[in-house]
Amino acid sequence: SIPLFQTVSQAVAFVESQKRDKVWTIFITEGIYRERVIINADNLRLVGESQAETIIVFNRYAGQKVSEGSQEKWGTRRTATVEIIGDNVSIENITITNDFDYPGNEMKTKEDPTRVSGTQAVALKTDKSADRTYLKNVALWGYQDTLYLKGDRVLIEGGMIAGHIDFIFGSATALFENVTILSRARSSISVGNGPTGYITAPSTNLQRPYGLTFINCRLERENGVPTNSVALGRPWHPTTTFSDGRYADPYAVGKATFINTFMESHITTKRWASMTGRAKHGNTITFNPHTDGRFAEHKSHGPGAHIVMSNAVHDSHILTAQQADFYSRTAILRGWRAPIVNINTTH
């Protein structure tokens, strides 16, 4: 018989101990599971009883020390509430949250000794080794760096992703269909000139034809997010170690595309923003979104898109209908068709 477990991590560990040639479904009953879940199994499906009431939550952040008295910090890559390492992993009808108190920390003055730095706090991450990750009707809540896509192919259908700074980022090839993208409010203390938020920060390798592609999605906002305050994206060139030094990866020419997407009026008229990185000799350089990134949109609509569609914004790349036809599910996901099928079940 298949046992019952009290935590998601225990159920995942059980599956990892079984033969890898089987496909497993873990059914998660309604409840709040405060734990960090690492999925290092292939062919695994996590299904929640309901999205609203099945919640996995943790609160690790990048600047947090690994242990009391340690000088080592977790860093962004080790903060995810759920981290997917395996292939062919599916998550359905679940809310995943990183509830690090970003707003409370942001309200503190710089002189406050309790104010922390390194506030990146990931809700879900796909590791570099992960491929064919499928999210259906999943809600991801965070602030800075909510969804870190470092693996290969990702398909996200329905659900919601919430955050404010670079909250969908990474090098993966990901297709978002009918997803609500919610920009969250920030403290007025930290808001200066320019955008207060950025939806995407892709670091797509130049050899990859697709990066983060949004089709039939909705870009919405919380109360308190100002009009004309959130950019669609900026190019992330992550600091990388090369044979001749450690500096911003010149081959990470991020790609993000929005097709037939509704945009509320919080989206900036200047669609894409610049981002800084470290040059080979250690100084800071600025990456231009039009020369150091690949950004485009097609048939954007709603209050945040009307200026673009009237061609009043000249620095936005508008795809033609013929160009948009290249963004099919088959092309983006390289023939990957569907998620795994339920064969074995544990609770």
Task: Give the pLDDT mean for 44-58.
Answer: 97
Query: Which of 245, 189, 219, 224 minimizes the C-alpha distance to 303?
Result: 219
Distance CA 169, CA 110 (A): 27
Q: How many CB atoms lie within 10 A of CB 328?
A: 11
Question: pLDDT for 284-300, tens place per residue?
Answer: 999 999 999 999 999 99
Q: How many CB atoms lie within 10 A of CB 324?
A: 18
Is 145 known to be catalytic?
yes
Nearest-5° angle of CA 93, CA 94, CA 99? 155
Indicate if the alpha-carbon torsion angle 207, 174, 319, 228 is positive or negative.
negative
Contacts of 100-104 with C-beta under 8 Å, sequence gap 24+, read 100/59, 100/60, 100/61, 100/142, 100/143, 101/59, 102/143, 102/144, 103/143, 103/186, 103/187
Question: From the candidates 42, 166, 249, 292, which is the catalytic residue?
Answer: 166
173 contact partners, CB below 8 Å, separation of at least 6 = 152, 153, 154, 204, 208, 210, 211, 332, 333, 334
Band (312; pLDDT cuts 50, 70, 90): very low
Band (49; pLDDT cuts 50, 70, 90): very high
Q: How many CB atoms lie within 10 A of CB 121?
A: 29
Band (56; pLDDT cuts 50, 70, 90): very high
pTM assigned to the model: 0.95
Distance CA 31, CA 55 (A): 6
Question: pLDDT for 326-345, tens place per residue?
Answer: 999 999 999 998 665 555 66
Q: What are phi and psi of 198, to 5 degrees?
A: -140, 125
Task: Give the pLDDT mean for 100-116.
Answer: 94
The yes-or-no verdict on residue 36 having pLDDT over 60 is yes
Distance CA 332, CA 154 (A): 10
Query: Which of 133, 128, 47, 45 minimizes the C-alpha distance to 87?
Result: 133
Question: From the candidates 145, 152, 249, 292, which is the catalytic residue?
Answer: 145
Is 101 known to be catalytic?
no
Starting at the edge strand found earlier in the chain, the sheet holding 139-141 runs 31-34, 54-58, 95-98, 139-141, 160-163, 180-183, 218-221, 262-263
- Please check whether residue 128 is in contact with residue 107, taking contact to mean a CB–CB distance below 8 angstroms: no
